[in-house]
Amino acid sequence: MYLTVFWIFVDTRQSLIYFLCMGSPPTIVSGGAGPRVGTNEGTMGGPGGKPKPQGMRARQRAETRERIFETALREFRDVGFAAAQIDRIAKAAGVARGTFYFHFPAKDDVLLELARRINGRVARRVAVLDESRPTLQELLLRVNDACIDEHSRVGEAGLLGELLSLYVRRPHDINDPTHNLPMLSDELAHHLQSAADRGELRSSLSADQIAIVVMTSLFGIYTRIPQGEELRTACEALIELLVKGLRSAR
């Protein structure tokens, strides 16, 4: 019996925001803290002990990561994030505990993955707004609609609350380590800069800073008001207030 010991170090000092499409899990591998024993990923695996082709290993890692991810989300929805147990998740996913840590250093990192995926889908929806050249208010309303739509897919209020709290607890970790996917903050800042160039937005803040103010304000409402018409109304009122301020600022 061969035991493969993984010494994995996590660099959480990333910067900026990103997310991945639900149907395309990343093939990058996150590490776990300290030595982890019990996973045979990356070892000899073909008939007769021959190494598996690199492409096959990468595909299997991605499939394993996705299975763990989906299983963990089910556990979070069933028993709550705080009560979820990694041993139970690993067993339900058909992997060793060490394999869980190989892909996700902690439960928080499963939520980070979910946040990145949501961010990527919202960023893509914002990116195509260039074609319609929306006004400042139309832009922010569409961004809000996209965020509400995506967050409603989370499905469970407690899980959504834990997800949104990541923006406060670990803001710099909600980034794409591969830097190959769109970031919501960047896409929003791009459109805000266009509004400034048209003379529709006047502020001493940069477009990047305004994007952070807008998204932080909206996320604050998302965490306080349940999904529904009241949430949308509150967000629209905030957007109207922000637009008036940005148009009149000197």
User: What CATH number did the domain enclosing 123 receive?
Assistant: 1.10.357.10
Q: Which of 150, 154, 160, 145 is nearest to 121 (CA)?
A: 150
Q: How far is CA 227 from the centre of its chain?
A: 19
Coil/strand/helix, residue 117: helix
Per the listing, tokens 């996705």 go with: 66
* 114 and 228 belong to one structural domain: yes
Q: What is the pTM of this model?
A: 0.66
Last residue of a domain, one of 53, 72, 105: 105
Domain count, the chain: 2
Last residue of a domain, one of 105, 120, 138: 105
* 171 and 79 belong to one structural domain: no
Q: In a structure prediction context, what are the per-residue pLDDT tens digits for the chain, which is 250 residues long?
A: 333 333 233 333 333 333 333 333 333 344 444 433 344 444 444 455 555 567 899 999 999 999 999 999 999 989 988 899 999 999 999 999 999 999 999 999 999 888 888 888 888 888 888 778 889 999 999 999 999 988 887 766 677 778 777 766 776 666 655 544 567 888 899 999 998 998 888 888 999 999 989 988 998 888 788 888 899 999 999 999 999 988 876 5
Q: Which of 182, 211, 212, 215 is nearest to 20 (CA)?
A: 182
Last residue of a domain, one of 77, 105, 133: 105
Domain containing residue 49: 5-105
* 139 and 216 belong to one structural domain: yes
* 121 and 243 belong to one structural domain: yes
Contact 178, 27 (CB under 8 A): no
* 178 and 132 belong to one structural domain: yes
